[in-house]
A and B are shown apart, each in its own frame.
Chain A
Amino acid sequence: MADSLADACTPLKRSYDTCFNAWFEGYLEPAVAAGSVGAKEREEYSKQKAQEFEANCGKLWVSYKACVQNALKENGLDHLLQQTREEHPMKEPVTP
């Protein structure tokens, strides 16, 4: 697993990544399979899974995120990030 940009955040990152990967793998196959189900059921499944993600990984995310935000500031990257986000919000997928 890759390191964080700040050494102090790496263990927090690893815990979070592990949590996400476990959840994601459980999420993906059924979500793909649910392609054939109705929209209502799919929505229920997505909603339930989103809640599950928050429940399982929410706390880890909070600690990790706080650490990264701090690291970005210390490295002088926060303004740069802000600029990039403003120029390319990327709120929707774009096809190449």
Chain B
Amino acid sequence: MHFFNQVFNYDHPWSHVVIGMWHKYPNPKCSHVVSIDVLDRSVDPVTGIIRTERVLGCKQKAPGWILKMFGGSEDAYVREISFIDPKNQRASISSVNMSLNNVAQCLESIEYRPASQTHTSFLQTAEITARMAIWRSVADGVERWMLQRFQDNAALGKLAFTDVLRNLWEERNVQAVAAL
């Protein structure tokens, strides 16, 4: 098993971050994400929580040795479930790989909460586990490749989302000022 976690703050209020979430892609910094589709969405009439299920299509090649051993292609799909709770100002997002799922699993968990009126805290964890009864060295190799890719994508994701939030909210501030 391999683990990953990071914590940091975005310089935007929680509601801005949660609105920005839906604008994260396409993104030149995360060019590996090529498609997103909403599979399901529901608004709980009692709690007000919005649950959304999405599938993300990524172009990211696994190393040659993994492809040879387990098959697979350049097209990788990830399933993402998010819960947005406006009453408690909590957004939790969980993702798991669909592709290469029988070989290894990368389960990611993200939470956005207000850190203050103007800042939002971001907590991200990932748990990577090889699945099959395969040689320890192979399991370890697969996990380590998945972890490295996850770390790289997480770093890109952070930069990418920072840009998205800045552009989105700067543009709106300009429009708001122009409208005065």
In the complex, what residue of chain A is closest to B79 when comparing beta carbons? A84
Interface residues of A in 44-72 (CB under 8 A from B): 45-47, 49-50, 53, 61, 64-65, 68, 71-72
- Do B39 and A81 touch (CB < 8 A)? yes
Q: How far is the CA of A96 from the CA of B111 in the complex (A)?
A: 7
- Do B109 and A84 touch (CB < 8 A)? no
Q: A84: which of B46, B51, B89, B98 is its contact (CB, 8 Å)?
A: B98
- Do A5 and B35 touch (CB < 8 A)? yes
A68: chain B residues at CB < 8 Å are: 37-39
- Do B92 and A21 touch (CB < 8 A)? no
How many Å from the CB of A21 to the closest CB on chain B?
6
A94: chain B residues at CB < 8 Å are: 92, 94, 109
Q: Is the interface of A mostly helix, strand, loop or mixed?
A: helix
Q: How far is the CA of A82 from the CA of B162 in the complex (A)?
A: 34
Q: Does B41 contact A (CB under 8 A)?
A: yes
B79: chain A residues at CB < 8 Å are: 81, 84-85, 88
- Residue interface mask A29-49, B partner, CB < 8 A = 1: 101101100000011011101
| Size bin of chain A's contact surface | 35 or more
Q: Does B167 contact A (CB under 8 A)?
A: no
Q: How far is the CA of A3 from the CA of B35 in the complex (A)?
A: 5
Q: How far is the CA of A81 from the CA of B90 in the complex (A)?
A: 26
B87: chain A residues at CB < 8 Å are: 31-32, 34-35, 42
- Do A80 and B45 touch (CB < 8 A)? no
Q: A93: which of B23, B36, B57, B90 is its contact (CB, 8 Å)?
A: B90
B34: chain A residues at CB < 8 Å are: 2-3
Q: B43: which of A13, A21, A42, A53 is its contact (CB, 8 Å)?
A: A53
How many Å from the CB of A52 to the closest CB on chain B?
9
Interface residues of B in 23-68 (CB under 8 A from A): 23, 25-26, 33-39, 41, 43-51, 53, 55, 57
Q: How far is the CA of A68 from the CA of B38 in the complex (A)?
A: 8
Q: B55: which of A5, A25, A43 is its contact (CB, 8 Å)?
A: A5
Q: A32: which of B5, B22, B89, B125 is its contact (CB, 8 Å)?
A: B89
Q: A20: which of B18, B41, B98, B109 is its contact (CB, 8 Å)?
A: B41
Chain A residues close to B by CB (< 8 Å): 1-5, 9, 13, 16-17, 20-21, 24-25, 27-29, 31-32, 34-35, 42-43, 45-47, 49-50, 53, 61, 64-65, 68, 71-72, 77, 80-81, 83-85, 88, 90-96
Instruction: Report 13 cross-chain contacts, Cβ distance below 8 Å, ordered by A residue.
Output: A5-B37, A9-B37, A25-B19, A46-B47, A46-B48, A49-B48, A84-B101, A88-B79, A88-B107, A92-B83, A93-B85, A95-B109, A96-B92
